[in-house]
């Protein structure tokens, strides 16, 4: 069996790091055997370790069962649940200096990394087929990140991700790439906590059964996106991010049926969103939803179709705060452009003081909710209009959860439960893509 590649995962950047070597490690620069508690300090751009100065430090495990602990790692950076935690890792420990401090990197076998990531991202209730499909997607994403770092900016088609003037703000959000390592350990990339938490036997099995498998299209690794629920039809890549079509991130009906209306047409979108057509992701089954939603508490099962209501005062205040633009009272929300899943790409906000256009989907979802609206596939009902035409209530009826591009997680969970194999799940959501084994 060919060996899996090694991934460089950036865990933290700090001015001082305390770590514990459990078992024997070799400090490769000095050839010394080391174990137990160690401290490093960042001083004037150099790393101080045991009284000597270094630009980088490398600790390699000597035995199979050796691990190392990093003290007080911040997890959930910028999220409401941010906290510090000691974390345990297998593989090698690599530290290098940077202008911000000591960058601490874990070098680890790709398959071990994936076992950890899928164990913390997916529910323990998930079916084997769903886990296998996810393993292939995560591996594709990971190998693509590793390739990208090797190619170092030979890609000159950089698109501006923000257009802003007096009439409109059109922006999309994509991850910035890292330069000192392949992926970070936080939600920005995929949450990775080493072996701090035990991996589940089912995840280990899913990783083992798909070892080395990735999705490719025309020989290139697929940018395999996924979201919670497409809402019945998936969205095209370019309607959410930069204007580069990916043939395997196209629009398709999330069902055995293939025909569907052109949801870019307002009347068709309206009819589609106000009804709940049959689809793999059209489910209220808590057992299925629990496979995809970690710690699912069943407060709602309304993800396929949902409703959100605001009073005039609530909506006007929310939009003012989010956009930093005073619209006065809101008189209308008008979809100007919809994507192929019915998601609004450009929304016109009409107020008594001014009018402004926002997009793409994530900007719209952030503007119309304290956190994120489930999706931008919605229709608007205005209620209780005053004599001068000011609605007193706005009711949004929507479809799906997330950007809707690529694999639909709730749909994939249903497919898994219905007996579809992981290859069928993947080729359903990524048409034309091949499953290729790299090692």
Contact between 188 and Zn ion (CB under 5 A)? Answer: yes
Site for Zn ion in 81-110 (CB under 5 A): none
Contact between 368 and Zn ion (CB under 5 A)? Answer: no
Contact between 73 and Zn ion (CB under 5 A)? Answer: no
Q: Quick one: 188 or 366, whose CB is closer to Zn ion?
A: 188
Stretch of residues binding Zn ion (CB under 5 A), selected from 259-267, 289-297, 352-360, 411-419: 411-419
Contact between 289 and Zn ion (CB under 5 A)? Answer: no
Compute how many other C-beta atoms are within 10 angstroms of the C-beta atom of residue 298.
9
> Residue 330 has what DSSP assignment?
E
Give the pair of three-digit tokens for residue 98.
């940077």
Q: How far is the CB of 180 from Zn ion (least distance, A)?
A: 11
Contact between 263 and Zn ion (CB under 5 A)? Answer: no
Give the bridge partners for 87, in sequence order: 70
**Are the CB atoms for 192 and 89 separated by under 8 Å?**
no
Q: Quick one: 277 or 391, whose CB is closer to Zn ion?
A: 277
Q: How far is the CB of 404 from Zn ion (least distance, A)?
A: 8
> Which residues have C-beta within 8 Å of that of residue 350, sequence separation ≥ 6?
327, 330, 331, 332, 333, 334
**Are the CB atoms for 426 and 416 separated by under 8 Å?**
no
Contact between 184 and Zn ion (CB under 5 A)? Answer: yes
Of these, 70, 408, 415, 426, which contacts Zn ion (CB under 5 A)?
Answer: 408
Q: How far is the CB of 188 from Zn ion (least distance, A)?
A: 4
Token look-up 């249903």 returns 414
Of these, 91, 406, 411, 416, which contacts Zn ion (CB under 5 A)?
Answer: 411
Q: Quick one: 254 or 329, whose CB is closer to Zn ion?
A: 254
Q: How far is the CB of 368 from Zn ion (least distance, A)?
A: 22
Of these, 254, 329, 361, 363, which contacts Zn ion (CB under 5 A)?
Answer: 254
Q: How far is the CB of 163 from Zn ion (least distance, A)?
A: 25
**Are the CB atoms for 339 and 357 separated by under 8 Å?**
no
Contact between 230 and Zn ion (CB under 5 A)? Answer: yes
Stretch of residues binding Zn ion (CB under 5 A), selected from 115-123, 128-136, 140-148, 184-192: 184-192
Strands 183-184 and 92-98: unpaired
Q: Quick one: 170 or 249, whose CB is closer to Zn ion?
A: 249
Contact between 281 and Zn ion (CB under 5 A)? Answer: yes
Q: Quick one: 153 or 317, whose CB is closer to Zn ion?
A: 153
Q: Quick one: 170 or 293, whose CB is closer to Zn ion?
A: 293
Within 13 A of 434's CA, how many CA atoms are on the CB side? 8
Q: Quick one: 253 or 348, whose CB is closer to Zn ion?
A: 253
Give the pair of three-digit tokens for residue 412.
């994939």
Torsion sign across C-alpha atoms 180, 184, 189, 192? positive
For residues 17 and 426, give the distance between their C-alpha atoms in angstroms, rounded to a whole number: 42
Q: Quick one: 12 or 184, whose CB is closer to Zn ion?
A: 184
Stretch of residues binding Zn ion (CB under 5 A), selected from 12-20, 154-162, 228-236, 380-388: 228-236
User: C-alpha angle 404/406/409, rounded to 5°?
Assistant: 70
Burial 346-357 (b: 16+ CB within 10 A, else e): bbbbebeeeebb
Q: What are phi and psi of 23, to 5 degrees?
A: 95, 180
Q: How far apart, in Å, are the Cα atoms of 127 and each of 131, 208, 259, 428?
A: 6, 15, 28, 17
For residues 218 and 110, give the distance between their C-alpha atoms in angstroms, rounded to a whole number: 23
Q: How far is the CB of 181 from Zn ion (least distance, A)?
A: 9
Nearest to 410 by CA among 261, 287, 237: 287
Contact between 189 and Zn ion (CB under 5 A)? Answer: yes
Contact between 349 and Zn ion (CB under 5 A)? Answer: no
Phi-psi region of 352 (alpha: psi -120 to 50; beta: other; left: phi over 0): alpha
Stretch of residues binding Zn ion (CB under 5 A), selected from 44-52, 188-196, 206-214, 285-293: 188-196
Q: How far is the CB of 25 from Zn ion (least distance, A)?
A: 26
Q: Quick one: 222 or 408, whose CB is closer to Zn ion?
A: 408
**Are the CB atoms for 391 and 380 separated by under 8 Å?**
no
For residues 198 and 332, give the distance between their C-alpha atoms in angstroms, rounded to a whole number: 51
Q: How far is the CB of 146 from Zn ion (least distance, A)?
A: 13
Q: How far is the CB of 228 from Zn ion (least distance, A)?
A: 9
Q: Quick one: 54 or 306, whose CB is closer to Zn ion?
A: 306
Contact between 344 and Zn ion (CB under 5 A)? Answer: no
Q: How far apart, in Å, are the Cα atoms of 41 and each of 58, 85, 88, 350?
A: 15, 20, 20, 55
Site residues (CB under 5 A) for Zn ion?
A: 184, 188-189, 230, 254, 281, 408, 411
């Amino acid at each position: 069996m060919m060996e899996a590649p090694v991934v460089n995962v950036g865990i933290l950047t700090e001015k001082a790091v305390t770590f514990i070597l459990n078992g024997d490690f070799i400090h490769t620069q000095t050839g010394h055997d080391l174990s137990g508690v160690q401290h490093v300090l960042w001083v004037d751009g150099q790393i101080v370790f045991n009284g000597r100065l270094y630009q980088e430090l490398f600790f390699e495990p000597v035995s199979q069962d050796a691990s190392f602990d990093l003290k007080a790692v911040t997890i959930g950076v910028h999220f409401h649940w941010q906290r510090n935690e000691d974390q345990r890792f297998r593989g090698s420990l690599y530290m290098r200096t940077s202008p911000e401090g000591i960058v601490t990197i874990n070098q680890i076998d790709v398959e071990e990394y994936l076992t950890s990531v899928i164990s913390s991202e997916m529910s323990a209730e998930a079916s084997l087929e769903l886990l296998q499909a996810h393993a292939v997607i995560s591996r594709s994403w990971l190998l693509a990140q590793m390739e990208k770092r090797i190619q170092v900016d030979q890609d000159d088609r950089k698109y501006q991700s923000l257009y802003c003037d007096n009439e409109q703000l059109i922006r999309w959000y994509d991850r910035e790439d890292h330069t000192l390592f392949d992926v970070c350990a936080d939600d920005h990339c995929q949450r990775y906590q080493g072996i701090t938490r035990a991996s589940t036997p089912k995840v280990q099995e899913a990783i083992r059964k798909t070892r080395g498998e990735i999705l490719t299209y025309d020989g290139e690794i697929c940018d395999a996106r996924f979201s919670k629920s497409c809402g019945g039809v998936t969205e095209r890549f370019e309607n959410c991010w930069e204007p580069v079509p990916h043939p395997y991130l196209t629009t398709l009906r999330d069902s055995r049926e293939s025909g569907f209306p052109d949801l870019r047409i307002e009347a068709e979108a309206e009819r589609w969103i106000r009804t709940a057509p049959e689809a793999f992701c059209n489910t209220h089954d808590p057992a299925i939803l629990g496979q995809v939603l970690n710690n699912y508490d069943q407060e709602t099962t309304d993800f396929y179709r949902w409703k959100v209501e605001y009073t005039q005062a609530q909506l006007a205040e929310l939009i003012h705060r989010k956009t930093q633009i005073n619209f006065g009272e809101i008189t209308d929300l008008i979809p100007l452009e919809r994507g192929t899943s019915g998601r609004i790409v450009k929304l016109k906000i009409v107020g008594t003081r001014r009018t402004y256009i926002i997009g793409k989907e994530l900007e719209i979802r952030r503007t119309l909710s304290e956190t994120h609206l489930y999706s931008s596939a919605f229709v608007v009902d205005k209620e209780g209009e005053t004599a001068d035409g000011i609605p007193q209530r706005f009711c949004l009826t929507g479809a799906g959860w997330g950007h809707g591009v690529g694999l639909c997680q709730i749909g994939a969970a249903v497919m898994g439960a219905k007996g579809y194999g992981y290859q069928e799940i993947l080729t359903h959501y990524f048409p034309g893509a091949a499953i290729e084994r790299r090692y």
